[in-house]
Amino acid sequence: MKRLNSNQNGIALMIVLWVLVLLIALATEFAFSMKMEVNTTRNYKEDTESYYLAKAGINLALAELIKNVRFHSIHEEYGWIMGSLAPAPEANPAPGIETVPQEEATQEFDIVNRTDIELENGTITYTIRDENGKISINSASKDSLNKLLAYSGVEKKVDQDTISDSILDWIDTNETHRLNGAEDDYYRKQNPPYIAKNGKIETLSELLKIRGITEEILYGSPEEDGEYKGIAQFLTVYTFSSINPNTATEEILSILYSPEQAEVILNNRAEKGYHSNSLSTLFRVTATGKVFGSRTEHTLETVFEKTGSGDNTNMVTHYWNDNVLDL
């Protein structure tokens, strides 16, 4: 009888131990699940906060861009700037009022901090890049395209002509290909076959469909190779009447202007911060929001076009990327 009771007690102890193990496993699973829920909720909250911080950065950029100014430029020290003429001297000043000669009138521009701007529980960083300082792929001439290709590393003239003629054939509305170009008859032989767009290029990645253009020619070779610089960095799909010499890079100036003209422009920009009273209308804005004490950040990118002036100024959105993953 005692032996039977002893066995029953042992079985009861084993059952209790298994129940405890089960309860511990359930408690551990519940704790882990709750921790995951808390982390997910916190991440969602921080991502939402960083998103709206980035959106605030877009609005700060809009507040800058909507101002009526006399020029847009790239300053060596302050980056993207805009400014206006100092008040012009009066034609018939009042007695005793000293005027400034017109040749001594100076340009003024705002110096704006766009980095790590603190707002509530995070920071905002935004940049303004001028699309008018690039070469418009939809209105570029063959000569400009050839110069760009040569600068980027396409050395053979026949390769330059093939690519530039094919770009122009892709954009024009007819079916007649240029001497070195390509139309439907060429693209139908590809695998898979397709046809020429015969319309404006909408994204730079579309260039990869055009005869002669590879990823390396478009985006550049790996650093260890360095054969091609990449043409995408110098191009925009947006069309405008003229390039802004104040914001164009030295490489673009060397392509579009003579060496003497490019030198004058660069010297003026270095000395005064601008070359001429040239205004831009198309701007690419990138804004990043970061939450204090967190690695979470969110980046937005958009392209605005400024139309009208004064009280009739409008900002038209041409492009919006809600989640830029790799800048």
Q: Which pLDDT does position 227 carry in this prediction?
A: 86
Tokens 């690695």 sit on residue: 295
Measured CA to CA, the distance from residue 188 to residue 210 in angstroms comes to 12
Which pLDDT value is given to residue 326?
55
Q: Angle at CA 309, nearest 5°, toward 308 and 312?
A: 70
Distance CA 303, CA 63 (A): 14
Instruction: Measure the CA–CA gap between 186 and 103, rounded to whole angstroms.
Output: 59
Q: Please report, for the chain, the start and end positions of each structural domain, with discontinuous segments joined by +.
A: 135-242
DSSP secondary-structure letter at 222? -
Cβ atoms within 10 Å, residue 91: 6
Distance CA(118)–CA(115), nearest Å, equals: 9
- The answer, as to whether pTM is greater than 0.85, is no
308, 315 Cβ separation under 8 angstroms: no
Q: At 138, is the secondary structure helix, strand, or coil?
A: coil
CA distance 66 to 33: 49
C-alpha of 69 from chain center:
23
Strand pairing report for 235-236 and 314-321 = unpaired
304-316 core/surface letters (b: 16 or more CB in 10 A; e: else): bbbeeeeeeeeee
Q: How many CA atoms lie within 13 A of 177 on its CB side?
A: 22
Confidence at residue 103, expressed as pLDDT on a 0 to 100 scale: 42
Instruction: Kindly list the strands in the beta sheet with 297-307, ordered across the sheet, starting from the edge strand earlier in the chain.
Output: 117-119, 122-130, 282-291, 297-307, 314-321
In the numeric block, the tokens 């579009």 are attached to 256
CATH fold label, 135-242: Ribonucleotide Reductase Protein R1; domain 1 (1.10.40)
- pLDDT tens for the chain, 327 residues long, are 555 566 666 777 788 788 888 888 888 887 777 777 777 777 888 899 999 999 999 999 999 999 888 889 988 888 888 886 544 444 444 443 343 344 444 557 777 889 999 998 899 999 999 999 999 999 999 999 999 999 999 999 999 999 999 999 999 999 998 999 999 999 999 999 999 999 999 999 999 999 999 999 999 998 767 789 999 999 999 999 889 999 999 999 999 999 999 999 999 998 888 899 899 999 999 999 999 988 889 999 999 999 988 888 999 999 999 877 654
Residues 6+ apart with CB under 8 A from 289: 49, 50, 51, 52, 53, 54, 55, 56, 57, 122, 123, 124, 297, 298, 299
